Amino acid sequence: MAWQQPYQQPYGAPPQQWGNPPPPQHGHQYGGPSPGQGYGPPPGQPPYGAPPPGQYGVPPQSYPPQGYPPQQQVYQPPPQQYSPPTLPSLGYDPNQRANVDTMRDAEALRGAMKGLGTKENEVIAVIARIPDPVIMANLKQTYDQRLMRDLMSDIHKETSGYFREGLEACIRGPLRQDCHNLHDAMQGAGTKEGVLNDVLLARSNADIHAINSEYSRLYHKSLDAAVRDDLSMKTERLFTMVLSGRRQEESAPVIPQQLDQAVSELHHATEGTRMGADQITVCQILSSHSDGQLRAISQAFQHKYHHSLSDVIRKEFAGHMEEALLRMLHVAEDRAMADAKALEATMAGPGTKDRLLVNRIVRMHWDKNHMSQVKGAYKHHYKRELAQRVRGETSGAYERLMVALVG
């Protein structure tokens, strides 16, 4: 029987923690930020990507257990109120800098690729121990400028297959890799819809703005225009909403009256109509709320209607729209579990979806705390270690790199 997260109060509280934080590293590592040159969140701020401290929107004591206020006939997204914005993730802000010397690792990479044959294990050891994308950018710059070579070009010439793709994804860093994946997904016949979902859905406003800007810089075309050219109808509308980067910030509270309205409107737009689902209303609700607010909406929907919002979406939608809406909802409910299941989806059934597997592991590995949570969620749900599963689906240097990134 599949695991289901129990109904819990208060609405919108952060999901269960699945794994222990990764242990502190010793020996050869790039340490924390130097004084005045920090590349992490400012003192007192939560880690990048973590929910704000405390619990989301505990309803006041006077909140009625039954009976809901009159609902508006047309859903209106919650008014934008000032909430401290979520900071860009590491690697998504050009002002993030790492004041470290990466020359030793640059020389180690060069030595591993000189002469006959590439010392694959040495390359893996260097790439896998770089702790974040800001230091990776520093390493690439050191290699290119001080060794007067091009790290991406050398890696491309000296490696092959999905091993090469994994290394190049690491070296690009998460922002440029996101843009690379988006551009690749919209080239040629057909759209790689899973890539669009992975890169764009359930992201912070700050990261969406960074992706928009970098895509335009790299490809001389707005990402919004590219998506409009490639998608159609209601799915295009959903991604246009997402790319506006105007969802509620994670610091925004859960307001009971707005929660009630959203829950009722979701029911009215799906099960409450005989005219077919009102897709635009559902898209507006899921794309405009923060993860904490969507958790609260999901929990309140279950409480009021005695079945899950996920089941309603599966019943009322199909194809790319169904997958996109479920992705946003499941990440909000439990990001670690959603990512654990996304990894398993690349390995389940006949044939491994290697490109998705590479990109999902590389994306997750940049946040070591999150990767620890993903591994815990994976073990809880599938009763086996994630690294063991990856070993069974990959081989050679490709296997060793993926396992090293999983940790």
Pick from 9-18, 66-75, 196-205, 362-371: least confident: 66-75
Through-space distance between the first and last CA atoms of the chain, rounded to whole angstroms:
29
- 183-223 pLDDT, tens digit each: 999 987 666 899 999 999 999 999 999 999 999 999 999 99
What torsion, rounded to 10 degrees, do the Cα atoms 254, 260, 265, 266 define?
Answer: 70
Q: Using 50, 70 and 90 to split pLDDT, how confident is the model at 40?
A: very low
Mean pLDDT across the chain: 85
The amino acid occupying position 71 is Q
Tokens representing residue 308 in the block: 């899950």
* Angle at alpha carbon of residue 53, lines to 50 and 58, rounded to 5°: 115
Task: Give the separation between CA 403 and CA 299, rounded to whole angstroms.
Answer: 35
Find where tokens 């295009």 sit. Answer: 236
Find where tokens 């506006």 sit. Answer: 244
* Angle at alpha carbon of residue 44, lines to 42 and 46, rounded to 5°: 85
- pLDDT for 59 equals 34
Q: Using 50, 70 and 90 to split pLDDT, how confident is the model at 17?
A: confident
Q: For residue 24, is pLDDT > 70?
A: no
Q: Using 50, 70 and 90 to split pLDDT, how confident is the model at 13?
A: low
* Angle at alpha carbon of residue 367, lines to 362 and 371, rounded to 5°: 75
* Angle at alpha carbon of residue 151, lines to 49 and 359, rounded to 5°: 40
